[in-house]
Structure 1
Amino acid sequence: MYADTFDQSSLIKRLRRLGSQDYGPSAWALSTGLYFQSMQLFDQPGRYGLISGGNFGRRTLRMARLHARVHAGVAYRPRRAGQLIAEALVAEGVDLVFGIPGSHILDIYDGLADVRDKVRHVTCRHENNAAWMAGMYGRLTGRPGVYLATAGPGAINSMSAVAQAYTTATPLVSITGSPLTSDYRESLHAVDDPDFTARMFRPITKWSYRVRRREELPDALRRAFAIARSDRTGPTHVEIPWDILQAEPAEFPEYRPARVIRRHPDPGVVRTAAEILRRARRPVICCGVGVVRSRAQAEVGELAARVGAPVVITGDGYGALTEDHPLYVGVLTLGAFGRDPFPASIFRKADAVLAVGLRAGTPQAEAITDAAPDGYVFIGFDRESNLPARAAAAQVCDNRLFLRALLRELAGFRRDPDPALVELIRRYRQTLRTGLAAELENYRQARPIHFGLAVKELFDRLDEDAIVVTDVGVHNVWANQLARVRRPDSLQVVGRWAEMGFALPGTIAAKLVYPNRQVVGVTGDGCFLMSDNDFATAVQERANILLLIMNDSQYGMIYKMQVDRFERAYASELYTPNFARYAEAFGAAGFRVEDPADLPAVIDRALKASREVPTIVDVVSGYTYPYPPVDRIVAELVSLSPPAGPG
């Protein structure tokens, strides 16, 4: 759908179809405008960027600019590339940027200095943390998060967080520097291949492009933002060479954001889905991350109530429906840890399933497809080529637009939820919560402290609108089970990329986006030490977060895996500091807990302290405790069949 370049041969073919023989500037600009319209990205006439492979003279480019100026009403004025980039950020609605100044991108920072009243810059300590923070901004706002990294090592340092953004469909724009266009072999921050960085980013982004001429820069930025927000949202990457950034001021057009693509639902698919749901006696709605990214939570709740369907979510679909909805069941778990059989039992007994927001072809989607009944509708979030063949209807489109169209198609139809089903779901959720609490009471006096006990004490004291960011490890399994999802953004999980260290940068960004909400992170000593250099950023930016660090001096989950497989563990031990003193060294607040009896009072004090400064609670914890025994707690309820609703 998105072509990388606009070459001379295709231009001439288009001009000939228009009947032009002189290839003058008006026809050239008109053809360019039609070309971008055919891409459905640029609806402004007179675009002249993204040109390569041609040999256009300066006079042609000048005339094309003149045509655009006169006929498209686009204002031109001289400015440096860095100023243009700053202008683009403002135009795209970006008010928070993360990064580390570096020699190859200093011109961008000089441009940002001119718009500091509109765009706040957060200076980070590591590029991967900067990219993580930008990703959290994208998750919470729905607008692409932006981070800046210098050429070479700066850009490469950020790649793991970009990969996470790709796997979680997070809108993100990575802007990185690049060595000189003509000086690559052994120059500063360069390797022998000039396209090395752009090619490295391609498998983990929707689009990665190295700008080759400064005339390309405006449209490269437009495309980066538009592609990041279109279809399945995700990261994009623009690499800008040093000499292009340092060049003297040039005439650039006024920056205008590109139109964002929204794929509309097929009316036939909508009708089929509506008919299946009307006939169903036990319908189920299964939501993935596409529902969250398209902000379709209200539509899911209304549809569930309209057709009387319980809602299960995938592991990346937290927030697709909040837990206070009477038809919200929980996570349809397919992983090895914390498996909950009750949502799966509801799903398997369905006679119709509407799956929305899943990515076709993934192991998760394949497992759901295999278990689905004949009345199966799949509304995907990425790529049409691998839609499930056994679905009665399937399409890739904007999830929110589809759900709205489906609600219109179902106008006048209503099947109230079966009271027995609603009661069964209520009993399940209550049984699970009280069962986990009772399980943790068995460890009330245990030393070292149980992960789940510390997490529960914290979560029981949080505000209704608090944001919780979890990390990777046994603590994450307990945190995800105990978290209260009262808002669409209440719980932010790391996702299947599962890189350790997410909680700290994630909480910093969340607090900067929502300074008046409680923001807490649950992490482990191993995770925290992989990103802890940006705790200084939290202090500097006054991001008053609370971090609960489960300090077991061990890669605890790895220990469990090794013991389960080999009956022994090796190389999983860690030396860890006193994290309370670590926090105090930065001028933040630190608390250390060794006795579980002290947890309530310490957490109360820590929450109070976090109103003023970043705060760490260092919990001396154990790594041998079991995972949440969810299957045992809900076993009795799993045996109860969901009652069939009226036909």
Structure 2
Amino acid sequence: MSTKASDLFIECLEEEGVEYVFGVPGEENLDFLDSLSRSDKIRLVLTRHEQGAGFMAATYGRHTGKAGVCLATLGPGATNFVTAAAYAQLGGMPMMMITGQKPIKKSKQGRFQILDVVAMMGPITKYAHQLASSDNIPSRVREAFRLAEEEKPGAVHIEFPEDIADEHTDSRPLKASQSRRPVPEEKAVRAAIKRIEAATSPVLVIGAGANRRLTGRMLTQFIEKTGIPFITTQLGKGVVDERHPKFLGCAALSAGDFVHRALSESDCIINVGHDVIEKPPFFMKQGGTEVIHVNFRSAEVDPVYFPQIEVIGDVGNAIWQMKEDILKQGHWQFDKMLAARAHEIAHRGDSGKDPRFPIYPQTLVQTIRDAMPSDGIICLDNGVYKIWFARNYEAHQPNTVLLDNALATMGAGLPSAMMSKMVYPGRKVMAICGDGGFMMNSQEMETAVRLGLDLVVLILNDGSYGMIRWKQANMGFKDWGLTYGNPDFVKYAEAYGAHGHRVTSAAALPEMIKACLDAKGVHLIDCPVDYSENDHILNKEIKELSVQVDLSARVAEPAE
């Protein structure tokens, strides 16, 4: 018995375990939409902009490892997916985009709204394909999901023309094959262990790839057995609990921080889950520190990254094999690296309790850390505050600090927080957005209210594009061209049916955050911030102090 193509497409999505389709349908999606309306397994989440739908789909993929699905029409709907596609592709988040198209076998409208969307998506996806026959829907959908979800995960795109959607076919959905990722070769593991045991001061660097799979348990056991300290990249935060005594910090700045000083004391870097899209926390040079690359894929050679030993395969299995084989060495010395971390903590001091108003970033970070439970999720937009959170906010669990250090786009904070709350309805979730980034997708407040989410949206209000303003100051240019006006955010929230709050003092912030986290509904907090010390602290003070610190004196290792 033949099946309508659009019905078959939905059946294929159901076979893949799809729970949601996020998007803004158009005329060319109406067959698909009609078929979706009859699904009892997939929920349509109507958003107010395709970019928000894409960010939500990508974040679903980030949390679950399964491709999130988003829907748009042709032309302007498809072009609005471009930023979200790049966000997912660079960030390693599995996502499928479905876009409509005019009939491809005949046309009554000429070239109206028609772009070559497949060609447009090609450079920013793992797979982009136009369906030209309903018979091929099962194989194309299965292939798209396979590619989206296998390492390195990313974005895929299927164009579903209007006339193909209306066809009938005898094809049926395909089931996913049973497969497991290859495990690392034993000789590669042995070579890595031999080098680590011969080193004087080995160190772990935990990157983006380690956060995509459940490697935290294996890495924690490896650290506990060996005592080897670790740092994280921004996308590696939370893989291992950062309260661990062997945590040396997060590489939030590109260079010149205490964590880079600690790295400079190592003679063997074990780089777990490295991805070249992240700024490397160390720079290799010929004859310099040796690097062991542990990842799902071989290293992409770069002028500053060319590892000497590679362990390729499932990262969790690789770390397990290494943990089982390695022996703790009496000649290992970690005093200097741990001393660098101690100096960083000392430099931070009581800055997290600064009473000045508008709120200083250090106070903001500490207040939120104190308020959030260990499994609470913060979702950052992109701005200068991202550096403060990456550097000062200790992540206790994987994927509890969602920031974007790949595409580093603005506008993703609110949609990613909405999706996080949908995936984990029992956990506290907070979107932390600059005023600039928030306004890029602020219309999704209506979506959050309509979905009945319990969500806190914290807006850091400085009336400017603060990250670029900070860079402008650092480069010695005059302060120009980066300030703007904002709406009354409290009234803005209330206009959507959310609850609006305004911070009036540093002392009032902790109680306000706690009350909003405990309350039902969507709560927006307008929080004035003072970034005036960013340039001095991040560009000058930290770099000067990290170079000057004396690491020669032995320090007692923290208690296990």
Alignment partner of 1:219 is 2:139: yes
1:98–1:123 CA contact under 8 A, matched in 2: yes
Q: Counterpart in 2 of 1:306? A: 225
Q: Counterpart in 1 of 2:449? A: 539
Alignment partner of 1:125 is 2:40: no
Moved more, 548-557 or 343-352: 343-352
AA at the equivalent of 1:607: L
Query: TM-score, structure 2 length as denominator?
Result: 0.89
Change (3 A) 1:431 1:579: farther
Q: Give the CA RMSD over aligned residues.
A: 3.0
Q: Counterpart in 1 of 2:77? A: 154
2:254–2:281 CA contact under 8 A, matched in 1: no
Change (3 A) 1:642 1:584: farther
Cα offsets for 1:503-547 (capped at 9, x unmatched):
111110000100110001111111100010111110001121111
Cα offsets for 1:267-290 (capped at 9, x unmatched):
321121122123233211222111
Moved more, 448-457 or 568-577: 448-457
Cα offsets for 1:245-283 (capped at 9, x unmatched):
122x32122431245562432332112112212323321
> Aligned to 2:532, which of 624, 627, 638?
624
AA at the equivalent of 2:448: A
AA at the equivalent of 2:517: L
Change (3 A) 1:441 1:150: same
Change (3 A) 1:250 1:622: same
> Aligned to 2:36, which of 105, 112, 115?
112
Q: Mapping of 1:95-494 within 5 angstroms?
A: 95-116=19-40, 118-183=41-106, 186-191=110-115, 196-247=116-167, 249-259=168-178, 262-333=181-252, 335=254, 340-341=257-258, 343-359=259-275, 364-365=279-280, 367-370=282-285, 375-382=290-297, 386=301, 391-410=307-326, 413-415=327-329, 421=334, 425=338, 432=344, 435-436=347-348, 438-442=350-354, 444-446=355-357, 448-494=358-404
Q: Deviation at 1:102?
A: 1.6
1:231–1:261 CA contact under 8 A, matched in 2: no
Cα offsets for 1:540-562 (capped at 9, x unmatched):
01121111101111112222333
Q: Counterpart in 2 of 1:28? A: none
Change (3 A) 1:623 1:349: closer
Change (3 A) 1:85 1:416: farther
Mapped to 2, the partners of 1:518 and 1:372 lie a distance apart of 48
Mapped to 2, the partners of 1:122 and 1:136 lie a distance apart of 14
**Count of aligned pairs:** 551
2:299–2:306 CA contact under 8 A, matched in 1: no
1:137–1:513 CA contact under 8 A, matched in 2: yes
Give identity over the alignment, percent.
27
Q: Counterpart in 2 of 1:577? A: 487
Structure 1 unaligned blocks of 5 or more? 1-76
Mapped to 2, the partners of 1:433 and 1:104 lie a distance apart of 57
Mapped to 1, the partners of 2:419 and 2:234 lie a distance apart of 22
2:352–2:367 CA contact under 8 A, matched in 1: no
Structure 2 unaligned blocks of 5 or more? none
Q: Deviation at 1:170?
A: 1.1
Mapped to 2, the partners of 1:283 and 1:380 lie a distance apart of 18
Q: Deviation at 1:417?
A: 11
> Aligned to 2:515, which of 605, 608, 621?
605
Change (3 A) 1:408 1:78: farther
Q: Deviation at 1:621?
A: 2.8
Q: Deviation at 1:454?
A: 3.3
Q: Deviation at 1:227?
A: 0.7
Mapped to 2, the partners of 1:383 and 1:220 lie a distance apart of 27
> Aligned to 1:528, which of 430, 433, 438?
438
1:306–1:416 CA contact under 8 A, matched in 2: no
Q: Which has the larger radius of gyration?
A: 1
Moved more, 545-554 or 275-284: 275-284
Q: Deviation at 1:570?
A: 2.5
**Higher RCO, Cα 8 Å, sep 6+:** 2
Mapped to 2, the partners of 1:564 and 1:291 lie a distance apart of 33
